[in-house]
């Protein structure tokens, strides 16, 4: 059980993963999945208490994450989650759409391992069960976050290209663009995205690389469009504004 004196932002670091994760993994995952919001200060003492580690590895993790661009540091204030303007988020989604499209094409060309196929099938089945009720509850976002992340992570593994994986990881350093950060959690949007997953998987199994690439590009671009509409009321292609966006709850 978490210490009741620990504030929500620190508790989120525990929820972000299990104890086998490194301190940096815990903090990074909490940022990428939106548990810790943009602009929020990360208290070194509270994090060390929550994760039951000394302040030394916490400080090293925060410094490393600042080097990755996920955190900002200011004297006398410490580390805060970096805020990104909407233009930067839109750019990250567009680059991610291209890169994940290539990953889907590679997966279709190279085939899925038994383990990769099992993870994807499990994520699709879990999504089917979640959506079978015809409605979504607030707590379902955590379930869908894992479903969505597992699908995208398995396809990236199936691409078997380290350079591609590193480039996509850089896109995820803009937190809202991460596949672990769920954008616009409404039933209609989630239904459409999950149906996309089924179609992408079918194209990969059918060894149709160019169709798989096209479907994945459209899938990620659709998430981008949903995010921009929810924040501005305009389409991403017609309204690119330079204002910071909080880490929204793909």
- Per residue in 188-200, pLDDT (tens digit) is 999 999 999 999 9
When the pLDDT of each residue in the chain is averaged and rounded to a whole number, the result is 84
Per-residue DSSP letter, 138 = T
Domain identity same for 57 and 120: no
Domain residue limits at 136? 85-245
Report whether pLDDT(109) > 50.
Answer: yes
> Does 2 reside within a domain?
no
- The pTM assigned to this predicted structure is 0.72
What are the tens digits of pLDDT across the range 217-229? 999 999 999 888 8
Average pLDDT of span 126-134: 97
Most trustworthy range by pLDDT among 30-34, 67-71, 184-188, 189-193: 189-193
Last residue of a domain, one of 66, 82, 98: 82
Q: CA 212, CA 158: separation in Å to the nearest integer?
A: 13
Q: How long, in residues, is the chain? A: 250
Computed from CA positions of residues 51, 56, 60, 63, in that sequence, does the dihedral angle turn out positive or negative?
positive
Domain identity same for 107 and 227: yes
pLDDT of residue 69: 80
Domain identity same for 36 and 23: yes
Nearest-CA neighbor of 47 among 92, 17, 8? 8
Domain identity same for 60 and 162: no
Domain identity same for 89 and 38: no
Most trustworthy range by pLDDT among 75-79, 146-150, 204-208: 204-208
Domain identity same for 144 and 30: no
Domain identity same for 157 and 226: yes
């Amino acid at each position: 059980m978490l210490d009741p004196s620990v504030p929500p932002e620190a508790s989120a670091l525990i929820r972000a993963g299990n104890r086998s994760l490194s301190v940096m993994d815990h903090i990074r995952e909490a940022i990428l999945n939106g548990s810790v919001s943009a602009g929020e200060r990360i208290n070194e003492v509270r994090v060390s208490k929550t994760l039951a580690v000394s302040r030394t590895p916490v400080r090293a993790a925060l410094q490393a994450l600042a080097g990755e661009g996920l955190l900002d540091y200011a004297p006398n204030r410490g580390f805060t989650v970096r805020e990104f303007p909407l233009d930067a988020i839109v750019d990250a989604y567009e680059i991610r759409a291209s890169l994940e499209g290539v990953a889907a094409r590679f997966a279709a060309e190279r085939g899925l391992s038994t383990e990769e196929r099992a993870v994807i099938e499990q994520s699709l089945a879990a999504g089917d069960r979640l959506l079978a009720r015809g409605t979504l509850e607030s707590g379902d976002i955590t379930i869908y976050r894992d479903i969505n992340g597992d699908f995208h992570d398995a396809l990236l593994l199936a691409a078997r290209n380290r350079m591609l994986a590193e480039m996509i990881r850089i896109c995820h350093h803009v937190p809202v663009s991460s596949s672990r950060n769920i954008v616009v959690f409404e039933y209609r949007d989630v239904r459409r995205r999950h149906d996309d997953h089924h179609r992408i998987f079918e194209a990969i199994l059918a060894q149709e690389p160019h169709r798989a690439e096209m479907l994945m590009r459209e899938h990620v671009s659709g998430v981008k469009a949903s995010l921009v509409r929810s924040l501005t009321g305009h389409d991403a292609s017609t309204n690119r504004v330079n204002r910071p966006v909080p880490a929204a709850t793909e």
